[in-house]
Amino acid sequence: MVKFVCDNYNEMSRLAADIMAGQITGKPFSVLGLPTGDTPIGAYMELAKKRLDFSGVSVFCLGEYYPINRKNNQSHYYQLFDGFINKINMKRENVHILNGETDNPDEECKRFDEKISHAGGMDMAVLGIGVNGHIGFNEPSQSLVLKTHLCDLTARTIEENSKFFGSDEVTPHKSLTMGMDAIFSAKRILLLANGNSKADAVSRIFSGAVTTSCPATMLNLHHDVTIIMDKEAAAKIQAE
């Protein structure tokens, strides 16, 4: 596991974009797993500025709220397109996002895993980390589900997400999420973390323990993980 501690969010974003750009220029037909949310948006903006050729790149989004209309500006579909895909020349047929409007979530998840398998797995999975240590929407639990699945969000995740939804909206209590099997099948994993709210979860990755009560700790079992943090997210590992 390789870790970088950056002075601030902008430096973290630039470094992440450089690493992602290296993956794409080294393999123009790369298959990427991408998250949404506040953490990666800076990296996406920096990556879009590089004017790379994304025409051969395929993307699998890590998750989607359920149920949610893709036109909702908090849907992962909307955020990934608005924050990144619409700024580059990626082919729309190469963008795969779980359908938060499906009537059959189990079948939707099965099809998603089949698409990842058909693509040969991911070359790089880019991850964020939840305040409770979730990756994707694989929440803390006594056990973790390997395959892409519909999951119940924890009260802490719901509370954290509620700030993004208007007062007249109900924050989703469920999510479709890429499972640990697909995430760990990625040849490389890049985890981004910023802000003091992530410091506890980040410190647990480096605690020496692997536990499903903090899914991010399982990254210690992967052969190629790079973690990029700002100083606030890294504060508690630096103090140890």
**Amino acid of residue 219:** L
Q: For position 165, what pLDDT does the model report?
A: 86
Residue 164 confidence (pLDDT): 85
How far lies 103's CA from each of 75, 100, 106, 137, in Å? 17, 9, 9, 20
pLDDT at 75 over 70: yes
Q: Which domain holds residue 175?
A: 2-238
Instruction: Report residue 171: phi and psi, to 5°.
Output: -65, 130
Compute and round to an integer the Cα radius of gyration of the chain. 17
pTM for the model: 0.96
Residues ≥6 apart with Cβ < 8 Å to 104: none
The answer to whether 66 and 172 are in contact (CB under 8 A) is: yes
Taken in order 18, 24, 30, 31, is the CA torsion positive or negative? positive
Altogether, the residues listed in the chain come to a count of: 240
| DSSP code of residue 138 | B
Asked if 204 and 214 count as a contact pair (C-beta separation under 8 A), the reply is: yes
Q: Give the whole-angstrom CA distance, residue 216 versus residue 140.
A: 9
Q: CB within 8 A of 51, min separation 6: which ones?
A: none
126-155 pLDDT per residue, tens: 999 999 999 999 999 999 999 999 999 999
Q: Which two tokens stand for residue 92?
A: 């729309």
CATH code of the domain in which 174 resides? 3.40.50.1360
For residue 47, give the DSSP letter.
H
Mean pLDDT of the residues in the chain: 96
The yes-or-no verdict on residue 189 having pLDDT over 60 is: yes
Number of domains in the chain: 1
Summarised one tens digit per residue, pLDDT across range 76-126 is: 999 999 999 999 999 999 999 999 999 999 999 999 999 999 999 999 999
Q: How many CB atoms lie within 10 A of CB 165?
A: 17
Alpha helices by DSSP H, 27-104: 38-49, 76-83
Taking the C-alpha atoms of residue 97 and residue 80, their distance in angstroms, rounded to an integer, is 9
In angstroms, the CA 46 to CA 49 distance is 5
